[in-house]
Chains A and B, each alone.
Chain A
């Protein structure tokens, strides 16, 4: 590759990277907002029946952002990785379900 070509590729990649960084910062802002909403909902003493599902959903969405944006699971070539993590999440869900429903202490 000639020097000029490399420069062209680099400036294109830098542009793409900058764009990605912008998405990451937006993701971060959303995560902060979700956190604030969860803390305010609990701090304001909202009804328990509404507040627990609300904060759980906020946590799930925030974790989704973390996995797909910060940890790049949205990028190409993450199929095996997704199956590993979803495998773990599946076992996690079954474990939590078992301990909270059919086991009594």
Chain B
């Protein structure tokens, strides 16, 4: 493998131009296969326990459509902005890539802010905590673990953007940005099931 990581104009996809890049990409997907199983066990537990409220608040009393809708739009849009970032990466435009990843981070931060507000609202106004009921434990484990993934993603992206700010795009850091983008889309995939299974289904039944 060559140790020259500079970009040349004929390279189409800088994220997969090196062996290291290809392996990182495959490794990330391997990880996502495992994440699917992990989240599946949380979803299954939630589905089994969602009516075990132990006299505490139920999903119909707690959830509000508006807040979840805003959170969904924020995360969904951040998925598109990271697609734009990768588009600029493939055109070797580092500045625009950083800009769109910056927008992605802000949208993710907005999502996180609303989630913190939501949890605080449940805890202070409804005394609905992790220990309230089996439903409470299952809810906070599933949704909180997703929120934890958002926190991890934001830290990952911030570290990448700051560390590479003065380096510019190269075959060394392009795979790092690309793996982050795939991870971020996966966070959105999990959220699609959370807003459908937890919030929407929780409001009808």
Chains A and B come from one and the same complex: yes
Decide if the interface of chain A is mainly helix, strand, loop or mixed: helix
User: Do residues A88 and B34 form an inter-chain contact, with CB atoms below 8 A?
Assistant: yes
What class of interface size applies to chain A in its complex with B? 35 or more
Complex interface residues of chain B between 36 and 84 (CB less than 8 A to chain A) = 36-37, 39-41, 43-45, 47-49, 52, 65, 69, 72-73, 76, 79-80, 83-84
Contacts of B26 in A (CB 8 A): 80-81
Knowing A35-B76, A62-B192, A63-B192 are in contact, say whether A85-B10 is a contact too (CB < 8 A). no
Decide if the interface of chain B is mainly helix, strand, loop or mixed: helix
Knowing A24-B80, A81-B29 are in contact, say whether A59-B196 is a contact too (CB < 8 A). yes
CB-contact partner of A39 in B45, B76, B200, B205, under 8 A: B200
The residue of chain A having its C-beta at the shortest distance from the C-beta of B39 within the complex is A92
What class of interface size applies to chain B in its complex with A? 35 or more
Contacts of A1 in B (CB 8 A): 10
CB-contact partner of A92 in B30, B37, B182, under 8 A: B37
Interface centre among B84, B186, B189 (most CB of A within 10 A): B189
CB-contact partner of B189 in A20, A39, A63, A96, under 8 A: A63
Complex interface residues of chain B between 188 and 204 (CB less than 8 A to chain A) = 188-189, 192-193, 195-197, 200-201, 203-204
The residue of chain B having its C-beta at the shortest distance from the C-beta of A92 within the complex is B40
B161 part of interface (Cβ distance < 8 Å): no
B55 shortest CB reach to chain A, Å: 16
Contacts of B186 in A (CB 8 A): 71
A-B contact pairs, 8 of them (CB 8 A): A17-B91, A28-B76, A35-B72, A62-B192, A66-B79, A91-B36, A92-B37, A105-B52
Nearest 9 A/B pairs, CB to CB: A88-B36, A92-B40, A99-B44, A88-B33, A84-B33, A59-B196, A81-B29, A99-B48, A96-B44
Residues of A within 8 A of B (CB): 1, 6, 9-10, 13-14, 17, 20-21, 24-25, 28, 31-32, 35, 38-39, 42-43, 48, 51-52, 55-56, 58-59, 62-63, 66-67, 70-71, 80-81, 84-85, 87-89, 91-93, 95-96, 98-100, 103, 105
